[in-house]
């Protein structure tokens, strides 16, 4: 099979994940599920996208909890292998050794490639020796959702090569890290296992997965539509009092919108972005931080429809609506109703 994928969306919260119930609406059923005595592998209502994720918790017992694909991926001694998953750790590992969240292994169970998270929040790709070959520049923060890829670019016992990808919420790649071509990515009997979950024998640790996919042709593509958790935000417009997503460039934000009664203009809007005239109800205040240079030349006063009297913009101060006639712009001060 060229690609397998599981979204965990076909389960029921708190139900144990098995080879029998992990298919259907979730996608391709897992071929093996490991649960240490005292641990649990269940569907969980905490999800990055959609409604459910898979939760892998060791509980008070030292051991591993994970799901596995084997023959559905097939033994690999040539070609390439690509996998992708979204993961969340409610808490960081307790030591620098860290926790594997995904591995590619051979027929004897030896690891050929992996992604690991340490107690310092370092996320790295590793080879058979278990040492970090390359590390993502971003630091993982407990409780965040991350979207990552792990690829075996070259299957070889001597010049194998491993790659890691990090994705943004919109599916674009934010960083690519690659090992030197000096790894044994074949091992004993060929690489034929893909495992994901809580892949280290420690107690009281939990890993959550939301979307897991493997392919022999290219990195799988996840659906990026629907609701998503706030830890991997896409660029959004910033309303008054709302901060823009961290790292969002100005060009990623939509154009400024018209300021209706009681609605603030988009933060950062320039004069050219605002309409020539904005209907303003009596008593309506301008959005905080909007300067005189941003204001239109004339403001139609009133609610419920046009009126037959207008006020011209002052340089500063406040103009109160007149009962009739026209008030011209003063240099300063307040003009009261005649």
Mind listing the pLDDT tens digit for each residue in 112-146? 999 999 999 999 999 998 999 999 999 999 999 99
For residue 247, give the DSSP letter: T
- Domain containing 316 equals 254-338
pLDDT at residue 88, as a whole number: 98
Look at residue 170 and tell me if it is in a domain: yes
Nearest residue to 86 (alpha-carbon basis) of 30, 149, 140, 133: 149
Domain ends where: 215, 245, 271?
215
Alpha carbons 95 and 144: distance in angstroms, whole number: 19
- In a domain, residue 308? The reply is yes
Residue 235, in any domain of the structure: no
The pLDDT score that the predictor gives to residue 335 is 53
Residues of the chain with pLDDT under 70: 1, 71-78, 225-338
Query: Tokens representing 134?
Result: 């390359």
**Residue 305 sits in the same domain as residue 183:** no
Report pLDDT for 90: 97
CA distance 122 to 143: 14
What per-residue confidence (pLDDT) applies to 188? 83
Domain count, the chain: 2
Query: pTM of the entire structure?
Result: 0.67
Last residue of a domain, one of 215, 231, 265: 215
In a domain, 261, yes or no: yes
Residues 306 and 187 in one domain: no
279 shares a domain with 174: no
Decide if 306 is inside a domain.
yes
pLDDT at 191: 79
> Does any domain span residue 248?
no
Tell me the CATH number at 45. Answer: 2.60.120.200
Contact (CB, 8 A) for 191 and 175: no
Dihedral of alpha carbons 201, 203, 207, 208, sign: positive
CA distance 205 to 188: 30
Q: Quote the DSSP letter at residue 319.
A: E
Answer yes or no: do 138 and 49 share one domain.
Answer: yes
Which residues share a beta bridge with 135? Answer: 124
Q: Are residues 32 and 99 in the same domain?
A: yes
């Amino acid at each position: 099979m060229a690609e397998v994928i599981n979204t965990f969306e076909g389960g029921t919260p708190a139900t144990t994940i098995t080879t029998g119930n992990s298919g259907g609406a979730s996608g391709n059923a897992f071929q093996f599920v490991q649960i240490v005595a005292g641990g649990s592998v269940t569907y969980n209502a905490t999800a990055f996208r959609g409604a459910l994720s898979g939760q892998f918790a060791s509980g008070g017992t030292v051991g591993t909890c994970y799901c596995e694909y084997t023959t559905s991926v097939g033994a690999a001694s040539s070609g390439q292998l690509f996998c992708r998953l979204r993961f969340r750790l409610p808490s960081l590992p307790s030591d620098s050794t860290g926790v594997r969240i995904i591995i590619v292994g051979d027929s004897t169970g030896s690891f050929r490639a992996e992604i690991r998270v340490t107690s310092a929040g370092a996320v790295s790709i590793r080879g058979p020796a278990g040492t970090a070959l390359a590390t993502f520049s971003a630091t993982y923060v407990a409780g965040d959702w991350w979207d990552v890829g792990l690829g075996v670019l070259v299957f070889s016992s001597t010049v194998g090569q491993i790659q890691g990808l990090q994705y943004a919420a919109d599916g674009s790649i934010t960083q690519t890290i690659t090992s030197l071509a000096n790894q044994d990515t074949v091992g004993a009997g060929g690489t034929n296992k893909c495992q994901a979950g809580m892949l280290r024998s420690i107690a009281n640790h939990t890993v959550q997965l939301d979307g897991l996919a493997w392919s022999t042709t290219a990195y799988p593509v996840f659906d990026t539509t629907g609701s998503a958790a706030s830890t991997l935000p896409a660029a959004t417009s910033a309303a008054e009092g709302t901060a823009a997503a961290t790292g969002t460039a100005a060009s990623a934000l939509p154009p400024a919108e018209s300021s209706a009664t009681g609605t603030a203009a988009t933060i950062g809007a320039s004069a050219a972005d605002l309409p020539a005239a904005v209907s303003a109800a009596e008593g309506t205040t301008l959005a905080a931080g909007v300067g005189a240079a941003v204001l239109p030349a004339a403001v139609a006063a009133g609610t419920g429809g046009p009126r037959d009297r207008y006020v011209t913009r002052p340089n500063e101060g406040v103009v109160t609506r007149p009962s009739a006639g026209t008030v011209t712009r003063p240099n300063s001060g307040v003009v009261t109703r005649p």
